[in-house]
Structure 1
Amino acid sequence: MPRPLLSTAAVIALAASLGACASSRLEGPSRRAGPQVAMVEPVTPLPSGTVTTAPLAPPPGVAAAPDGAPPSAPGAVAVAPGTAVIAEPVVPPAPPPPVVTTGRSSVVGSWNARDATGGTCKVSLSSAPALDLYKATASGCPNKDLAKVTAWDYRDGEVYLYQPGGTVAGRLRQAGGSLEGALSKSGASLALAR
């Protein structure tokens, strides 16, 4: 009679020692102290019941489809099988309107000023700081209040023109590519254009 190669007890001991070696390698050096025995707890079966199936409700925004039909997306059109569908050409969206620059940097530069009497002159709004304001110059202005402008500022969408000492000479708002407003002292209209 041939001898069995390994006894059942030897196989169990070998499996337990291999399991302990494998788990100690994976768990790291702190868990390797002493022999480890694999413990297997018996699994108790859960009570079984009947299993039922039902279709899921459609996601929000999608109409429920009749039995057997796939759900449709919002705006989709149902077409009978075998029907040819002709797609309408896709119209690209209109380009965004051009960006009109506003703010302090958009008004820096040289302007042609025109007052209510029709008198014209040059007003230059610089980006060079002058204390809390910016430097400005006016040349050839027949209006004495406009001729004294030495500084300017941009606040709350308006350009303020200042005379020495901080007196406001005029206030203007952007209107397309120009500035329109009035002189402070007389209330006469004032427009600056490029």
Structure 2
Amino acid sequence: MPRQHRSTIAVLALAAGLGACASQRFDGPRTRGPAPQAALDTIAPAMPSGAVTSAPLAPPPGASAAPDERPIGAQAALAPPASNVVPEPVVAPPPPPPVAAGGRASVVGAWDAKDATGASCKVTLSSAPALDLYKASAAGCPNKDLAKVTAWDFRDGEVYLYQQGGTVAARLRQGGGALDGALTKSGAALALVR
């Protein structure tokens, strides 16, 4: 027989034996005695019940009582009387000055594109997603590369204009209220202004 099984049987046998001894030792011979409630009354008689009262508890140590209530109990002697002093209103600091918009959201919208030859057309940068880029469109652009722009993105402070198929048509940086850069294929200057 496994050792663990033997020790479990030994503990159960010991508990049963002690239980049998205890019941004979304390009960004595079986006789009919008083009813259970009567036996309890002889051990501890019922206590008379009086009126039940209630009162709020004192606040925990370190906490103060509400301003219009006096502390109760031992802390009443220690606490000064509550006063009707109105605290000064807390004045919030002024809001920070508005920050000039930058990043992707600041370039969304319609732009006038001007290339190195002086030709201009309309380029619109949309906030509508197009896969992992954003939709863009060009209208009336004499430059073939710029006319094929269908998407854009803003990365590392630069605006990238993309043609169908993912070719980068132009890269521009924000400067003042305009975007300045160059067409990728020819290297010619390109500016977008509002």
Q: TM-score with structure 2 length normalisation?
A: 0.50
TM-score by length of structure 1 reads 0.50
